[in-house]
Amino acid sequence: MDALTALQTRTAAPRLVEPAPQGAALDAILKAGLRAPDHGMLRPWRFLVVSGDARRKLGELFVEAMQPDTEERRKKLLESPLRAPLLIVGIATPKEKDGVPAIEQINSTAAALQNMSVAIHALGFASIWRTGAAAYDPKVKQALGLSSSDAIVGYLYVGTPTVSERPVPELAIKDYVQNWG
């Protein structure tokens, strides 16, 4: 798929199954992420790839950290990483640097995740970017070995969509863009 088509047609896929990209395809996706714009070239990001049984371990970590108060919530949380065969966790580790505030380093990590999601689509797979409590709970961050200044920018759930991808929303350029001046 050419780059413009990939950029203009990516849609999120909430239900994902095997196969997930692996080997050279996964490397190509990660490499696309590492090409994100990065003020000061601080490389303020790192990524955790979670697949197979490690997804169960991640679900257990969520439950341990968040202590859900009902069995229904516990089960939902425990099984949440199983919604796709592969997860990429995007973590920003902002560094002290004059002129490059933490927000820019978080934005850079978000750009990396977006690059990855387009590359995933271009290779015939699909993904959905998720956050929620699993991204923002301080105890989850701690359990993953992050410091309090690190940020989980997103969990990219990756795999093959179970249904054909949803139609691409048609947004009118004029509704969002004005010529200025």
Ligand X SMILES: Cc1cc2nc3c(=O)[nH]c(=O)nc-3n(C[C@H](O)[C@H](O)[C@H](O)COP(=O)(O)O)c2cc1C
Looking up tokens 């350029």 gives: 173
Residues 11-50 interacting with ligand X (rule: CB under 6 A):
11-12
- Least separation in angstroms between residue 81's CB and ligand X is 13
Task: Please report whether residue 154 would count as binding ligand X according to CB under 6 A.
Answer: yes
Tell me which long-range contacts 97-100 makes (C-beta under 8 A, separation of at least 24). 97/40, 97/42, 99/39, 99/40, 100/39, 100/40, 100/42
Q: How many CA atoms lie within 13 A of 172 on its CB side?
A: 3
Q: Which is nearer to ligand X, 167 or 181 (CB)?
A: 167
Query: Is residue 83 within 8 Å of 15, Cβ to Cβ?
Result: yes
Cα separation values, 179 from 8, 73, 118, 171, 174, Å: 21, 48, 27, 17, 9
Give the shortest CB-177-to-ligand X separation in angstroms. 18
Q: How far is the CB of 58 from ligand X (least distance, A)?
A: 15
User: Considering the complex, what minimum distance in angstroms separates the CB of residue 89 from ligand X?
Assistant: 13
Q: Which residues contact 66 (CB under 8 A, 6 or more apart)?
A: 77, 133, 134, 137, 139, 140
* Residue 76 within binding range of ligand X, rule CB under 6 A: no
Among 5, 22, 67, 131, binds ligand X (CB under 6 A): 131
Among 40, 54, 129, 150, binds ligand X (CB under 6 A): 129
Among 15, 43, 130, 139, binds ligand X (CB under 6 A): 130
Contact between 9 and ligand X by CB under 6 A: the answer reads no
Instruction: Yes or no: say if 33 and 117 are a contact pair by the CB < 8 Å rule.
Output: no
Q: Taking contact as CB under 6 A, which single stretch among the options 16-24, 63-71, 86-94, 130-138 is the one that binds ligand X? A: 130-138
Chain centroid to CA 138: 18
Q: Give the count of residues interacting with ligand X (CB under 6 A).
A: 8
Q: Which residues bind ligand X (CB under 6 A)?
A: 11-12, 128-132, 154
